[in-house]
């Protein structure tokens, strides 16, 4: 249930509603999204209280949202959301956005040569890992703050907004300072204190789906970010676990299409992590474009064979360039046919 306060209401109006809820033994969770004040409830309202609240001049309306996620639901916001990144790239408004870059930032030279290739190929956002969640404590864990600085410099130099992952609350401020989108990795999808902390920065957040998270759990994680008042959330599917060890992960494109009916948030596909294998990335990137998703995230490297992390799934610069050419051709083909009927859908809220 969502209580929507009128535009420009004072904080005192919120307190009044919170008091009325508390007297009824109901916990309300106030959300101040900047644009307006909301109060989220994990349960239904008794009929009388419902009426009393509606009679307040400060309460605009009460939405009986059935799904456990409220702010992330299409019930709350029927039209697609648009997340504006670095003041110049829109995710979710019908463009097909490409994020690309190295898995891990290894050196200035590696990062800048990759950023140049990313720019030349026509990608829109530069990715690069400075803090790496590694399965083994005995593997390279990333360049840290120094990596963040390099990423920012490369982004500025090639006029590309940048995205990078944060793994712990202690570094959220740094990552927010140096990047345009803060990435939450798949392993941290249900790291609730971290979700809250990145939400509070007000920066755009890209939330990767956990490898065995249900679609509902994924949206509930997004709700943790949104409950801080930060609505700039992008979702990212990177493959789920299956019973078949022959493939690294199973890209759940059907799940993405299904969950898009439930949420207004834009969804990005990461075929690099989904497959773990270079030759499988292009067909799945094209599939993501044809399925109407909001974009893709790709890994590339000047010399994949010597990459410190995930080399086998990194594209060469030439492969990236050619893939994005074909991607654009597919996107254009869809637009010809579907422009009319999808028009309305593609305009952001």
Burial class (CB in 10 A: 0-12, 13-18, 19+), 303: exposed
Min separation Cβ 142 and its own copies, Å? 11
Which residue, 162 or 227, has its beta carbon nearer to its own copies?
227
Q: Cβ distance 67 to 77 under 8 Å?
A: no
Task: Dump the DSSP string for 82-148.
Answer: -EEETTTEEESSS--EEEEE-SB---HHHHHHHHHHHHHHT-SEEE-BSS---SSTTS----THHHH
Min separation Cβ 156 and its own copies, Å? 29
Which residue, 33 or 153, has its beta carbon nearer to its own copies?
33
Min separation Cβ 318 and its own copies, Å? 12
Which residue, 42 or 46, has its beta carbon nearer to its own copies?
42
Min separation Cβ 131 and its own copies, Å? 9
Which residue, 112 or 133, has its beta carbon nearer to its own copies?
133
3-state secondary structure of 10: coil
Min separation Cβ 256 and its own copies, Å? 9
Which residue, 68 or 78, has its beta carbon nearer to its own copies?
68
- In angstroms, the CA 31 to CA 244 distance is 42
- In angstroms, the CA 254 to CA 52 distance is 43
């Amino acid at each position: 249930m969502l209580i929507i306060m009128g535009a420009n209401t004072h904080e005192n109006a919120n307190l009044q509603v919170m008091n009325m809820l508390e007297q009824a033994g109901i916990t309300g969770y106030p959300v101040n999204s900047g644009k307006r004040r909301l109060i989220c409830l994990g349960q239904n309202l008794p009929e009388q209280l419902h009426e009393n609240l509606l009679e307040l001049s400060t309460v605009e309306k009460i939405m009986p949202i059935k799904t456990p996620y409220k702010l992330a639901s299409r019930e709350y916001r029927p039209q697609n959301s648009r997340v504006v990144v670095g003041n110049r790239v829109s995710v979710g408004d019908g463009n097909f956005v490409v994020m690309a870059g190295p898995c891990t930032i290894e050196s200035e030279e590696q990062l800048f040569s990759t950023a140049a290739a990313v720019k030349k190929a026509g990608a829109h956002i530069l990715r690069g890992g400075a803090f790496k969640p590694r399965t083994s404590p005995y593997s390279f864990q990333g360049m840290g703050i120094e990596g963040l600085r390099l990423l920012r410099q490369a982004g500025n130099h090639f006029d590309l907004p940048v995205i990078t992952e944060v793994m712990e609350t202690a570094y959220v401020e740094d990552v927010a300072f140096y990047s345009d989108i803060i990435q939450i990795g798949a392993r941290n999808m249900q790291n609730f204190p971290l979700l809250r902390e990145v939400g509070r920065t007000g920066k755009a957040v890209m939330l990767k789906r956990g490898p065995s998270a249900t679609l509902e759990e994924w949206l509930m994680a997004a709700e943790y970010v949104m409950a801080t008042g930060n609505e700039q959330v992008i979702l990212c599917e990177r493959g789920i676990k299956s019973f078949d060890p022959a493939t690294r992960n199973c890209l759940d494109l059907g799940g993405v299409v299904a969950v898009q009916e439930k949420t207004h948030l834009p969804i990005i596909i990461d075929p690099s992590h989904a497959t773990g294998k270079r030759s499988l990335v292009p067909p799945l990137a094209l599939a993501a474009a044809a399925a109407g998703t909001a974009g893709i995230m790709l890994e590339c490297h000047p010399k994949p064979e010597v990459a410190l992390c995930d080399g086998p799934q990194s594209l060469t610069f030439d492969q990236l360039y050619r893939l994005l050419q074909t991607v654009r051709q597919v996107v254009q083909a869809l637009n010809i046919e579907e422009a009319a009927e999808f028009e309305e859908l593609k305009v952001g809220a």
